[in-house]
A and B are shown apart, each in its own frame.
Chain A
Amino acid sequence: MTASLYERIGGEAAVNAAVDLFYRKVLADDRISHYFDTVDMDGQRAKQKAFLTFAFGGPNAYSGKDMRAAHAKMKLSESDFTAVMENLGATLKELNVPDELIGEAAGIAMSVKSDVLNT
């Protein structure tokens, strides 16, 4: 049996290495920074950690319904979603994660696209 994506990508250590890179990238990305800009930066960082854990195939309790409810009021567009995906990819590249694993993580993130965009 092959190891799970979470194990191959490096588990919790990988999430910890990625979370600040990723959160800094989205905060500095003028296209989407306003969605991530909050006084409660610790809380926002924890959300990014939960998201990365999910995208890396790790333990999580995300459900489609939660994702839908959490993003419903934000009225996100296709291009917002694309921007987040780009930042996710760039983060993993910076950490020298092999392309094939980046593809798998992107696939998991893509799986919630319709819930996030409420389509």
Chain B
Amino acid sequence: MIRFRGRSLDLRDGETVLECLERSGEQVPSSCRSGVCQTCLMQATSGDVPPESQKGLKPTLVNQGYLLACACRPTSDLELADGTPNEVTSRVLGTRALGANVVQVQLERPTGFSYDAGQFVQVVRPADGLTRPFSLASLPSEAGLELHVAVRPDGNMSRWLAGAQGEPVRLRGPLGECSYRAADLAASLLLIGTGTGLAPLLGVLKQALAQGHQGPIALHHGAESFEGLYRWRELCELAERHANLELFGWVGVAPPALEPRLRVGRIDRQLLQNYAPIQHAEIYLCGNPALVANLKKYAYLQGASLDRIHSDPFVTAPAPTGVLASA
């Protein structure tokens, strides 16, 4: 039996999930019907997912219970998500200015809310339903949820959040697959982010270190000015304590004191060109959308596997300007 959109549907002998849903009058997108094109991708929220329905899916999707409906002949009852994520109630516990118009927002973690470091949530303002995505910088082992919000003059949500201490919010999620995979502790990790794109990278980085990651980790954080490297001191301390962590800060304007880990210039594809382990590395790209798209394509052309390139498909930054614009 499968449960979907509040209905319980009985499977006929040998029937796939896709066939059963269609027979029951549910509209589900599909194309090749042979487990190849991934159009009929769905997520099981409970039940045993048959491995043959997960062939070819990214490991991060497999871990989250995703399956191909056309190749799925269930062996147990399955509960299927209908694409709209769970919504839960939370509250803004506190806010703290981090510099360069970035505000750290601490949210109450709703009871039973579980997530992987690096995932994101949709934050909903209860008054009018205004909704924006924000990555989680906190670890699942921490009590609260931490967001990094770039406050913009025209940012409805960001300006409100920055002063919303004590206000209730609703959260949808967790979403996305930009999270740490502990499957290979020796893997090379390359983390590249601009602006508040650091938030998910911080989650991934802290999770990797907490799980005892052994392979080399390189983190590049880019911003217009040194103030925009808003967690720089903390990152430097982490790099001091972990020999396998290499840290680079990229700034458009030279700071008064140029520390060894700082570079004046922009993050661009050259960084990938000089990165030897690219073919086997797990690569995380977050921040400026144009730069992320550019680096993702270039990493792939350089031999990186798409399964190992992690970036979330939402826009948190305005159109690229100045030093952060991609080449």
Binding site for B on A (CB under 8 A): 15-16, 20, 23-24, 27-28, 37, 39-43, 45-47, 49-50, 53, 58-62, 66
Contacts and interface: CB of A to CB of B under 8 A. Distances in A.
User: Could you tell me the dominant secondary structure of chain A's interface residues?
Assistant: helix
Interface in B199-217: none
Chain B interface size range: 20 to 34
B173 to A, nearest CB: 20
Given A20-B305, A50-B32, A53-B32, A41 B37 contact: no
A61 B300 contact: no
Interface of B: 31-34, 36-39, 56, 58, 289, 293, 296-297, 300-301, 305-306, 309, 313
Contacts, number: 53
A39 B313 contact: yes
B34 A42 contact: no
Contact of A61 (B34, B38, B306, B313): B34
A106 B31 CA distance: 23
27 contacts: A15-B36, A20-B305, A20-B306, A23-B300, A27-B297, A27-B300, A27-B301, A39-B293, A39-B313, A41-B296, A41-B297, A41-B306, A41-B309, A46-B36, A46-B39, A49-B56, A50-B31, A50-B32, A50-B37, A53-B34, A53-B36, A59-B34, A59-B36, A61-B31, A61-B32, A61-B34, A66-B31
A39 B305 CA distance: 16
A43 B306 CA distance: 11
A50 B39 CA distance: 11
Contacts of A41: 296-297, 300, 306, 309
A26 B47 CA distance: 40
A39 B313 CA distance: 8
